[in-house]
Copies of this chain bind each other. A is one copy, B any other.
Amino acid sequence: MPELFTVLPPHEALHKLFTHLTPRISTETIDTAHALNRVLAEASIARSPLPAFPRSTMDGYAVRASDTFGASEAIPAYLTVIGESPMGSAPTRSVERGETLIIHTGGMLPDGADAVVMIERTQKTTDTEIEVMRAVAPGENVLQVGEDVRPGDPLLSIGHLLRPQDLGGLMALGLTSITVARRPRVGILATGDEVIDPYAEPQPGQVRDVNTYSIGGLVERAGGVVQAGGIILDNFEALYEAAKDLLDRSDAMVLSAGSSVSVRDMTSDVIAK
């Protein structure tokens, strides 16, 4: 039986396997919220900018930067506080020369303002006036429209394995459903006259099934869905039928048998076929 010694190193075996595989990946559209560890089947593209409005990155005061030019601790700039930029809606007031609005981190910049002074760089003089102790440049402490993402920006490519931060990012852009590859169903066949259900007590010569569980765990960890095919005796017809049946309801199948020169898994006339 020297022909049975024809074994290959793993990378060659894998290459040979892959050249014979026809991908049968099908896709499904699911809620992004439940897409952790799924694989994108369509590239995701931003449809809207992020942020969608100019946002403050600091707690402080929305200002016209030019009003602060030259300001220092020794010679502060004085601004009139005309109100507050509300969280969750657009400011109703615009900022004119010499004016400012209280603003919070993430708040929307009012019209007229082009920068934010950190609260730490200010001092209240009266209820409606502040001193600004440091100049800000236009755009300082402000996240501009589309600075994170612009409409049309490619976000994640086909084949990307979705991580927690990807889910958050997609939801931030309103991409609440996405198309992903279906989780591959991987059939597992345990084979061997000596193999028994782990819940049974082995008799001499018998061993408990391990492959269903260790390979099952690997399949689960890799994102597949396990189709356990049970334990099949060392009989070619039984193995063939079980494998055929299991493959009908799986995308791939793992079985271990005939790892050496023993031909007990096959009758000799079947080998001849």
Seen from chain A, the residues whose Cβ lies within 8 Å of a Cβ on chain B are 32-33, 36-37, 51-53, 58-59, 85-91, 104-108, 119-120, 163-174, 176, 192-196, 198-199, 201-218, 220-221, 234, 259-262, 264
Interface contacts beyond A36-B221, A106-B192: sample of 7 additional A-B pairs, CB < 8 Å, sorted by A: A87-B192, A87-B193, A89-B206, A90-B203, A106-B207, A120-B261, A172-B208
Query: Across the interface, do A261 and B89 meet the contact criterion of CB distance under 8 Å?
Result: no
* Contact of A171 with B208 at beta-carbon distance under 8 Å, contacts A194-B106, A198-B176, A213-B33 already known: yes
Chain B nearest CB, measured from A97 CB (Å): 24
Chain B nearest CB, measured from A30 CB (Å): 13
- What residues of chain B lie closer than 8 Å to A207, measured between beta carbons? 51-52, 106, 172
* CA A91 to CA B203, docked complex, whole Å: 12
* CA A194 to CA B163, docked complex, whole Å: 25
Query: Across the interface, do A88 and B193 meet the contact criterion of CB distance under 8 Å?
Result: yes
Query: Across the interface, do A89 and B205 meet the contact criterion of CB distance under 8 Å?
Result: yes
- What residues of chain B lie closer than 8 Å to A51, measured between beta carbons? 207
Query: Across the interface, do A172 and B198 meet the contact criterion of CB distance under 8 Å?
Result: yes
Query: Across the interface, do B167 and A259 meet the contact criterion of CB distance under 8 Å?
Result: no
Query: Across the interface, do B198 and A90 meet the contact criterion of CB distance under 8 Å?
Result: no
* CA A215 to CA B221, docked complex, whole Å: 21
Query: Across the interface, do A194 and B262 meet the contact criterion of CB distance under 8 Å?
Result: no
* CA A169 to CA B211, docked complex, whole Å: 10
Q: Which 3 A-B pairs have the closest CB atoms?
A: A164-B217, A168-B214, A88-B194
* Contact of A59 with B164 at beta-carbon distance under 8 Å, contacts A194-B107, A198-B172, A203-B89 already known: no
Chain B CB within 10 A, most for which of A53, A91, A205 = A205
Query: Across the interface, do A89 and B199 meet the contact criterion of CB distance under 8 Å?
Result: no
Query: Across the interface, do A59 and B214 meet the contact criterion of CB distance under 8 Å?
Result: no
- What residues of chain B lie closer than 8 Å to A195, measured between beta carbons? 88
* CA A174 to CA B203, docked complex, whole Å: 13
Query: Across the interface, do B203 and A167 meet the contact criterion of CB distance under 8 Å?
Result: no
- What residues of chain B lie closer than 8 Å to A104, measured between beta carbons? 262, 264
From A217, which residue of chain B is reached at the shortest CB distance?
Answer: B164
- What residues of chain B lie closer than 8 Å to A218, measured between beta carbons? 164
Chain B nearest CB, measured from A213 CB (Å): 4
